[in-house]
Homo-oligomer: A and B are copies of this chain.
Amino acid sequence: MSVVVDMLTEKLALARVASRSVAQLSTKVKNDVLQAVAEAVEAEADYLVAENYTDVTAATQAGLDAYSIDRLTLTPKVLAGIAGDVRKVAALEDPVGAVTGMRTVESGITVGRIRVPFGVVGAIYESRPNVTVDIACLCFKSGNAVVLRGGSEAIHSNVALARVIHDAGVAAGAPRDWVQLIDDTDRALVHRMLGAKGDIDLVIPRGGAGLINFVVENATVPVIETGAGVCHTYVDAYADLDKAQRIVVNAKTRRYSICNALDTLLVHAAVAPQFLRALYPDLAAANVEIHGCPRTLDILGESPRVLPAVADDWGKEFLALTMAIKVVDDFDAAMDHLHTYTSSHSEAIVTQDYTLGQRFMREVDAAAVYWNASTQFTDGAQFGLGAEVGISTQKLHARGPMALEEMTTYKWIVYGDGATRPL
């Protein structure tokens, strides 16, 4: 164990040195590197697919479910998609070096802020090997060196991808150690990463709730959490019910295993009978199972698809074709429910009422609040960021979709001419 921990310590030291060079690269060189990385991912498809096959075979033998194996599998088409994402990152604006608020203050010093990279960013993630390339390229474009720790089920894929992008990047002008993959699955290494204050400036965990919680509980390095979302949509008495129906169906069924999918529908009692009866056929057609409050059951009737909600259904992230429905007396009752059960990810109101819509947008505390739109829009590309490192579920530093700017920080720059501070 101490050998692999020593290995990590060395990798972190190399990453620190590399981070100083990456931080100083011009936008032009960074983009050249990313174009070379994109080309290499496509050119080395045979090698990458072959290495990935080892992981897929092992996962199949271990009995991993079909969905997870699908996410694990690399094909030439998947690799072309990954390369396309890298080219998109190359096309994004470089946030590094922007100076803001520069002014000369009373003492005579001139002071402002300049946007700078974090330095060394660590990523701890599970399963999908495309994350290896995505995060490496987003961190690089934002001027950071990156240390990657993928899941053991994708270890061969990740090693191969890291090798390909590393070599292509270095050939195109990246410093030698710009990306470091931890190619050992010993869990002691995750502990070491999480305690590497000063060696790692920021850790981003991406994966299931177990991984995220483990990271948050054990980290002394700064962390940006990503992950869980318990998403509500409130259909008000003054909603346009046709729009509400489209929004709810989209929020639940477009994708159901992602963090911005609808979990609990709240419906004003005045429109609940009409709305739920109109909505139900769409949900049934999409195989959605409903866990309803007593009033919902009164309206829809209990059936194999419409079951009584239990206490745990409120505030639950289903990640499945299951949703909870609650009929509420009014806007305030909906807000009370939200305040109790929100995970502060994505929350929506559907209403034509100006005052209630404004109140919802102002009072609901979430990374993204929606008025007459589906919560499934919470995504870096959909919000105009071009890409995303993940969706932050915390309030510190970044909230919601994170892209290049969120992978940077700032420093104060101060110019004097022999300036000394008075007593």
Contacts and interface: CB of A to CB of B under 8 A. Distances in A.
Interface stretch (A27-35, A51-59, A164-172, A215-223): A215-223
A202 B371 CA distance: 28
Contact of A111 (B111, B384, B410, B411): B384
Given A20-B363, A396-B396, A247 B377 contact: no
Given A250-B420, A419-B247, A399 B412 contact: yes
Interface string A397-423: 101110000000111111111111101
A423 B374 CA distance: 12
Given A243-B417, A369-B412, A395 B217 contact: no
Given A216-B220, A371-B416, A254 B362 contact: no
Given A103-B384, A409-B399, A418 B369 contact: no
B119 A373 contact: no
Contact of A414 (B202, B362, B373, B413): B373
Given A20-B363, A224-B396, A414-B371, A383 B105 contact: yes
Given A383-B105, A396-B202, A421-B382, A411 B369 contact: yes
A68 interface: no
Interface residues of A, number: 71
A406 to B, nearest CB: 10
Contacts of A400: 411-412
A394 interface: yes
A103 B379 CA distance: 15
- Give the secondary structure class of A's interface: mixed
A136 interface: no
A373 B411 contact: no
Contact of A368 (B201, B379, B412): B412
Contacts of A254: 420-421, 423
B374 A420 contact: yes
A235 to B, nearest CB: 12
A7 B97 CA distance: 48
Contacts of A10: none
A366 interface: yes
Contact of A411 (B119, B365, B421): B365
Interface in A342-377: 361-363, 365-374, 376-377
Contact of A370 (B116, B197, B216, B414): B414
A377 B109 contact: yes
A242 interface: yes
Given A201-B395, A369-B412, 4 more contacts: A20-B339, A20-B365, A116-B365, A368-B412
Interface of A: 20, 23-24, 101, 103, 105, 107, 109, 111, 116, 118-119, 197, 201-202, 216-217, 220, 222, 224, 240, 242-243, 246-247, 249-251, 254, 339, 361-363, 365-374, 376-379, 382-384, 394-397, 399-401, 409-421, 423
- Nearest 6 CB-CB pairs, A to B? A373-B416, A243-B418, A250-B420, A397-B397, A373-B419, A368-B412
